Amino acid sequence: MYDLVGHFLLFGIIIIGALIVPLLIGRLVRPKLPTPQKDSIYECGEPTIGTSYVQFDLRYYVVALVFIVFDVEVIFFFPWAMIYGGAMHLADSRITEATRTELSAKMLNTPVAELASENVIGAESAYWLGLTGLMDVLVFFSVLLVGFAYVWKRGDIDWVRTVMKERTQPTPHQDLIPPTKTPEKQTVS
């Protein structure tokens, strides 16, 4: 119990330190050249004072869309991380039999007392379990990375959208999309 409290205390102290130290260093080092823009409150580039019913810059929207897709994929890492941590711990052949039983019980989701002795996970099978999981996650993650690289290459996450370099080849069949019957005039709602 004290062990846990101690860990939390240590963790808290380090967090507070990690916050204070950079702020302090910044305060000591930076030059003081205030301008009205610098003095205003930072809100990601939007005006901070005024009605909140404003239309945000559409460019946030695109970045947010890309973020949603890649952010949520992390969810597949949580179950994997749970298993992988346990498996790698079990794969260590030096741990004691009691620890092994305890970890196996945790992994198989059964109480320690009910765990049959043949169900205690051996070092080698734990290693294979971890390795299989790692491979799966690596494949999954690399596919994600290809998608990310594609988005990047297309310039969809650039803040200032660069006009795509004009290709040297003429794009064929550009004229094939039939013209719409409706006028392209946009009605304001």
Partner 1 sequence: MNFEEILNLFIQDTADTSVGLIRPELILCGTILSLLFVRLFSIDRWITPSWVALVGAFVAFGFAANDFMVLKEAGGDTVQEIFTGLLIFDRFTAFFRIFLLLFLVLVVTLTILSGLPDLEDGPDFYTLLFGSTIGMMVMASSNHLLILFLGVEMTSVPSYVMVGFLKGKRVSSEASFKYVVYGAGASGVMLYGISLLAGLLGTGNMSLIAERLQMISSSGEPIVSGTAISVMILMVMVGLAFKLSVFPFHFWCPDAFEGASAEVAGFLSVASKAGAFALLVRFALAFSAGDAGALQPTFLYIGLGVGVIAAITATYGNLAAYMQTNVKRLLAYSTIAHAGYMLMGVASVIVLMNAPGEDTAAATANATQALEGLLYYLAVYLFMNLGAFAVVAFIRNSIFSEEIEDYAGLISVTPILCVCMLICMFSLIGMPPFGGFVGKFMIFASLFEAGNIHWVMWLILVAGGLNTVFSLFYYLKVLKVMFLDPRPAGAPDVDVRWGSLPGFYTMLVTAPVVVLGVLVQGLSSTAQNVASVLFP
Partner 2 sequence: MGLESYLLVGAVLFVSGVVCMATKRNGIGLLMGVELVLNGANVNFVAFSRFTSLGLDGQIVSLFVIVLAAAEAAVALSIALNFYNNHLTIDVDRGDELKG
Token pair of 124 as six digits: 């080698």
Q: What are phi and psi of 94, to 5 degrees?
A: -90, -10
Dihedral in degrees, nearest 10, Cα atoms 168, 166, 150, 156: 180
Partner in contact with 128, chosen from partner 2, partner 1, none, beta carbon below 5 to 8 Å by kind:
partner 1
Contact between 68 and partner 2 per CB under 8 A: yes
Partner in contact with 169, chosen from partner 1, partner 2, none, beta carbon below 5 to 8 Å by kind:
partner 1
Shortest gap between Cβ of 164 and partner 2 (angstroms)? 18
Closer to partner 2 by Cβ: residue 44 or 72: 72
Closer to partner 1 by Cβ: residue 40 or 125: 125
| DSSP secondary structure letters along 25-38 | HHHHHS-----HHH
d(CA 101, CA 116): 9
Site string for partner 2, 39-58 (x = CB under 8 A): -------------------x
d(CA 116, CA 113): 8
Under 8 Å CB-to-CB from 57, ≥6 apart: which residues? 45, 46
d(CA 125, CA 54): 58
Residues 165 to 184 in contact with partner 2, rule: CB under 8 A = 182
Q: Which stretch binds partner 2 (CB under 8 A): 2-10, 60-68, 138-146, 160-168?
A: 60-68
Q: Which residues bind partner 2 (CB under 8 A)?
A: 58, 61-62, 65, 68-69, 71-73, 75-76, 78-79, 182, 186-189
